[in-house]
A and B are shown apart, each in its own frame.
Chain A
Amino acid sequence: MHHNDFQKQEGRLFTKSFFVLLALVLIGAVLIGLRFTKGLGAVSNMSDGFPWGIWLAYDVATGTAIACGGYTVAILVYIRHNMHYHPLIRSCVLTSMFGYALAGLSVMVDLGRPWNVYNFFIPSRWQLNSVMFEVAMCVMTYTLVLIIEFLPGILYSLETSEWRRLRAFANWLHPALAPDQEKLSGLIDKVRRTAGVIRPWLDKVLIFFIVLGITLPTMHQSSLGSLLLIAATKLNPLWHTGFLPLLFLVNCIYIGYSVVILESLISSYAFKRPYEVKELAGLAGIIPWLTVIWLGIVFGDLAFRHQLSAAFRLDFYSGFFLAQVLLVLAGSVLLFRARNRTSPRWLFVSAVLIVLGGALYRFNVYLIGFDPGSGWRYFPSLAELMITVSIVAFEILGYQILVKLVPVLPRIHMHGHGKPHGTHHIENKAPATKGLPDGI
């Protein structure tokens, strides 16, 4: 790992958005508590017909696709060996880590009998033909891999940080509670030394985890599509096809790149950093080709199955199908123009369109196009939605805190001129320089 590619974001931890997000997280925590004390029915609208609600459709199926930034950028950096994308990787891995860990948490909230979950860790009880087993195994392992991939950053900051926040906190505490200064320094020293021992060792074995980190999502992202193969009579024929695994895989890759663009633009905007236009333009050049392949498979398959007329019937299902196609198409058409690929505004608009379209595809497959039989209906309850919202809020909160504690974001003066380099970065608007830390 090239630690000089990254830097910490300066600034206060406890901002206004911190408290708003924290409030949302706490509401969700209370509701999750309610779910475990009063049962699923108390908080969710799920039923026998719709045992998979918004938690599965969003948090697992869509959330992990949105968390595919780490996977997709890893493909570019470590397989295509495009090292100039390397500065993006740590923030991508961070979002992926939160996305996957929280997808796992959602499954735990969603499971009807969570106390049976220990069976998962007993190999003799594994059902190796089950797609769901593969997804569960991969998501869990990949979460672990992502944590390990992110560990060098944490170890690095443990080792080099001055621990100012901790010292300030110790000083702020009542003298009776405050630990002895010397003892604290000794403790910090010990942690630093341990981190210093682990880090070089981890750097050596890290490539193994990076390989795993590319293999696992390829496996389970396609399996998320395979999960619905069994629902041949329930999933509308617009979406049910033998190509579901391939469609899900390609879908997650272009969502992944689009999310990397969004995440980079939003964090540049929020933290008033220069925009990483050059790297993003490179990603944006890949996306439309992926979506064209994807749309080609979608329509080719529909034609092959004689379902094209159903796609243009303009009923409920065809409406959602066309919305999904048009969103992805509109975003891709924008990105085919080279000028738009270097414009933060149009990068943002097209990435939003593609993420929305790609996510709608997953919603269509998991919820909207899913009809378990006449009379069944499902719309998430408010409590159910709030749990999902709180999980998203937790992701943003965690990202916001960790980028300030650990060097995650790309280093601004990568090119060594002491100030932001004009050719590769677009300066953020007016207040930008104010927010930039001294010495950069």
Chain B
Amino acid sequence: MDTNIGMRSELSRRDFVKGCVTLTAFMGLPHALVGKVQETAESDRRLPVIWLHFQECTGCSESLLRSSHPTIASLILDKISLDYHETLMAGSGEQAEKSMHDCITANKGKYVLVVEGAIPTAENGIFCKVGGRTAVDSLAAAAKDALAIISIGTCASYGGIQAVPPNPTGAVGVGALVKDKPIVNIPGCPPNPYAFLSTVLYYLTFNKLPALDALGRPKFAYGRRIHEHCERRPHFDAGRFARAYGDEGHAQGYCLYQLGCKGPVTFANCPVQRFNDVGAWPVSIGHPCIGCTEPDILFKTSIAEKVQIHEPTPFDGYPPVDTGKKGKGASPLTTAVVGLAAGVALGAGAMMAKNLPDSAAASKDKKNP
């Protein structure tokens, strides 16, 4: 199969349908809904989108440009109305600012705000200015009437590399500033463009945002650990590890855990939905996962640092062993009895300590004055 379809300029009907099937599966939806997703992808309904860039490298946009089902062109022209995107738009200066302003006023409460990059807050946010306004102000103005916010990339989600101590610019993610809007975080450095596209398509199809985990990430893309789907997992289970870059094990494609792979603690679907439409992802080309979707790992632990595996999960290729019965917790009666017994024991201990003579001399004196 030609996986290199991104290089082609035209998208065949067959590839389009395949793309819709992929996205449906990607979102964890039943196969029966493929038609509905396809219908949405074909429909003329366009979602107004404003895309703001702050402290970032544009890697997330770059990654999105390399998606092919749908291609970014069809996404921009057919699915969404990308009214403001500093890298992609043709206009510049006052004209561009006006376009954003118009979109905000015309689509009050109906547009989606996409943020790429962290927002500097130190020294009144002077570290990042567009059109004379600080990033904090631009974000506040654009977020006010937004339907929802999608933070694309780890910088916009959690601050990213800008927020690593000493964090001179006081960089934070969108969630730290905007509290009153639904926020979907699509972390990654860069994130998989399909996580973003699927979120948009999910919204267009169902008119609601997908289910999110505790870190605000869509569960369909960030619900499982890299380790559970990794193609090198059988090597891990068999204890075959690459010990150094370029050694025998590395050449054999063994597990990269000993080189510092963060797969066991990183929630993302990279091994399943790979990058650049050519079936590649870091681990497949011999580099350990750096945990780019995890706020506490990326840039905070060194790439070579081995992670501790607290909750080992079986390889997803095995039949499930989880019966759903996870043991019984405390019952109110038991805790009450335990609490009561502990209290009585404490009281008895205290009484006992009180009744015991304090010193040898004192008690003797009492006995034989």
Point out residues on A near B: beta carbons under 8 Å: 45-50, 233, 236-237, 265-266, 269, 275, 277, 339, 342-346, 348-349, 352, 371, 373-382, 385, 389, 422, 426-427, 429
Residues in chain B near residue A349, CB distance under 8 A: 353
Contact (A344, B357) CB under 8 Å given A50-B327, A379-B328: yes
Does B333 sit at the interface, judged by CB under 8 A?
A: yes
**Residues on A with beta carbons closer than 8 Å to the beta carbon of B323:** 48
Whether B179 is near chain A, meaning CB under 8 Å from some CB there, is: no
Q: A373-B311, A427-B367 are in contact. Are A381 and B326 (CB under 8 A)?
A: no
Complexed CA–CA distance, A339 and B354 (Å): 17
The smallest C-beta distance from A358 to any residue of chain B, in angstroms, reads: 16
Given the known interface contacts A47-B327, A379-B329, the answer about A345 and B357 at a Cβ–Cβ threshold of 8 Å is: yes
Q: Give 12 A-B pairs besides A344-B363, A349-B353, A373-B311 with Cβ atoms closer than 8 angstroms.
A: A47-B325, A49-B326, A233-B311, A275-B356, A275-B357, A343-B359, A348-B356, A374-B313, A377-B328, A380-B334, A422-B368, A429-B355
B91 interfacial contact with A, CB 8 Å = no
Q: Roughly how many angstroms separate A381 CA and B330 CA in the complex, as a whole number? A: 7
**Which of these, A374, A377, A385, contacts B337 with CB under 8 Å?**
A385
CB of A379 within 8 A of CB of B326, answer no
Q: Identify the closest chain B residue to A349 (Cβ).
A: B353
In whole angstroms, what is the CA distance A427 to B366 when docked? 10
Contacts of A378 in B (CB 8 A): 327-329
B31 within 8 A of A: no
Q: State whether A377 touches B326 (Cβ < 8 A).
A: yes
Enumerate chain B interface residues (CB-CB to A < 8 A): 308-313, 323, 325-331, 333-335, 337-338, 341, 349, 352-360, 363-364, 366-368
Expressed in whole angstroms, the minimum distance between the Cβ of B43 and any Cβ of chain A is: 40
What chain B residues lie within 8 Å of A345 (beta carbons)? Answer: 353-354, 356-358
Contacts of B360 in A (CB 8 A): 277, 342-343, 426
How distant is the Cα of A345 from the Cα of B351 in the complex, in angstroms? 10
A269 pairs with B358, CB closer than 8 A: no
- Is A237's CB under 8 angstroms from B308's CB? yes
Sample 20 A-B pairs with CB under 8 A, ordered by A number. Answer: A46-B327, A47-B328, A50-B327, A266-B352, A275-B357, A339-B359, A343-B358, A343-B359, A344-B363, A349-B353, A371-B311, A379-B330, A379-B331, A379-B335, A381-B328, A385-B334, A426-B360, A427-B367, A429-B355, A429-B366
For B327, give the chain A residue with the smallest CB separation. Answer: A47
Task: Give the complex CA separation of A265 and B352 in angstroms.
Answer: 10
A385 touching B327, Cβ below 8 Å: no
The answer for the CA separation of A375 and B341 in the assembled complex, in Å, is 28
> Most A CB atoms within 10 A — which of B312, B331, B357?
B357
Could you tell me the distance in whole angstroms from the C-beta of A368 to the nearest C-beta in chain B? Answer: 13
In contact, B363 and A427 (Cβ under 8 angstroms): yes
* Chain B contacts for A376, CB-based, 8 A: 326-327
A356 to B20, CA, bound (A): 62
On whether the beta carbons of A49 and B358 are closer than 8 Å, the reply is: no
Min distance, Cβ A228 to any Cβ of chain B, angstroms: 15
Q: List the A side residues contacting B349 at CB < 8 Å.
A: 352
Could you say which residues of chain B place their CB within 8 Å of the CB of A45?
327-328
Closest A-chain residue to B366, C-beta based?
Answer: A429
The verdict on A426 contacting B363 (CB below 8 Å), with A345-B357, A379-B334 known, is yes
Give the residues in chain A near B309, CB-CB below 8 Å: 233
A378 to B327, CA, bound (A): 6
Residue of B nearest to A383 (CB): B334
User: Does A422 contact B364, Cβ atoms closer than 8 Å?
Assistant: yes
Q: Main SS of chain A's interface residues?
A: loop
Across the A-B interface, the 3 shortest Cβ-Cβ residue pairs: A47-B327, A379-B330, A345-B356
Known: A373-B313, A422-B364, A427-B363. A382 touches B334 (CB 8 A): yes
Q: A345-B353, A371-B311 are in contact. Are A382 and B337 (CB under 8 A)?
A: yes
Closest to B367 in A: A427
Q: Are A377 and B329 in contact (CB under 8 A)?
A: yes
Smallest CB–CB gap between A224 and chain B, Å?
23
Q: In the complex, A346 Cα to B329 Cα: how many Å?
A: 38
Q: Inside 8 A of B366's CB, which chain A residues have their CB?
A: 429
Q: Please measure, in the bound complex, the distance between the C-alpha atom of A429 and the C-alpha atom of B365, giving whole angstroms.
A: 11
Residue of A nearest to B337 (CB): A382
Report Cα–Cα, A133/B360, bound state, in Å: 47
Min distance, Cβ A370 to any Cβ of chain B, angstroms: 11
The CA of A7 and the CA of B343, in the complex, are separated in Å by 35
Structural contact, A374 and B334, CB atoms closer than 8 A: no
In the assembled complex, the Cα of A106 lies from the Cα of B32 at a distance in Å of 55
User: In the complex the two chains form, is B312's CB within 8 Å of A429's CB?
Assistant: no
- B326 near A47: Cβ-Cβ < 8 Å: yes
Question: A348-B352, A427-B363 known; A377 and B327 CB under 8 Å?
Answer: yes
Give complex CA distance A49, B325 in Å.
9
* B354: A residues at CB distance < 8 A: 345
Inter-subunit contact A426/B364 (CB<8 Å): yes
CA distance A275 to B266 in the complex (A): 60
Query: When the two chains form their complex, are residues B337 and A233 in contact, meaning their CB atoms are under 8 A apart?
Result: no
Whether B334 contacts A375 by the Cβ 8 Å rule is no
Contacts of A236 in B (CB 8 A): 310
Check if B356 sits within 8 Å of A382, measured CB to CB.
Answer: no
Contacts of A269 in B (CB 8 A): 352, 355-356
Known: A233-B309, A382-B337. A375 touches B326 (CB 8 A): yes
Chain B residues closer than 8 Å to A346, beta-carbon distance: 358
Known pairs A233-B310, A233-B312, A381-B328; A265 contacts B337 (CB<8 A): no
CA distance A51 to B47 in the complex (A): 54
Report the bound CA distance from A14 to B275 in whole Å.
80
Instruction: Please report the C-alpha to C-alpha distance between residue A275 and residue B367 in the assembled complex, in whole angstroms.
Output: 14
Beta-carbon nearest neighbor of A342 in chain B: B360
Contact of B310 among A342, A371, A426 (CB under 8 A): A371
Closest-by-CB residue of B relative to A345 is B356
A112 to chain B, nearest CB (A): 15
CA distance A269 to B349 in the complex (A): 12
Contacting residues, chain B, for A373 (C-beta < 8 A): 311-313
A48 and B325 alpha carbons, distance in the complex (Å) = 9
Residues of A contacting B308 with CB < 8 Å? 237
| Least Cβ–Cβ distance between B269 and chain A, in angstroms | 18
A375 and B358 CA atoms in complex are apart in Å by 49
Q: Which of B329, B335, B341, B360 has the most CB of A within 10 A?
A: B360
Given A346-B358, A382-B333, A429-B363, do A49 and B327 touch, yes or no (CB 8 Å)? Answer: yes
Q: Compute how far the CA of A346 lies from the CA of B352 in the bound complex, rounded to whole angstroms.
A: 11
CA distance A342 to B333 in the complex (A): 42
Minimum CB distance partner of A340 in chain B: B359
Residue of B nearest to A270 (CB): B352
A269 to B364 Cα, complex, angstroms: 16
Q: How far is the CA of A352 from the CA of B330 in the complex (A)?
A: 26
Please indicate the chain A residues that have their CB under 8 angstroms from the CB of B310 in the complex: 233, 236, 371
B312: which A residues are within 8 A, CB to CB?
Answer: 233, 373
Q: How far is the CB of B353 from chain A (nearest CB, A)?
A: 5
Cα–Cα, bound, A346→B123 (Å): 58
**Residues of A close to B330: CB separation below 8 A:** 379
Q: How far is the CB of A354 from chain B (nearest CB, A)?
A: 13
Report chain B residues within 8 Å CB of A352: 349, 353
Residues of B within 8 A of A50 (CB): 327
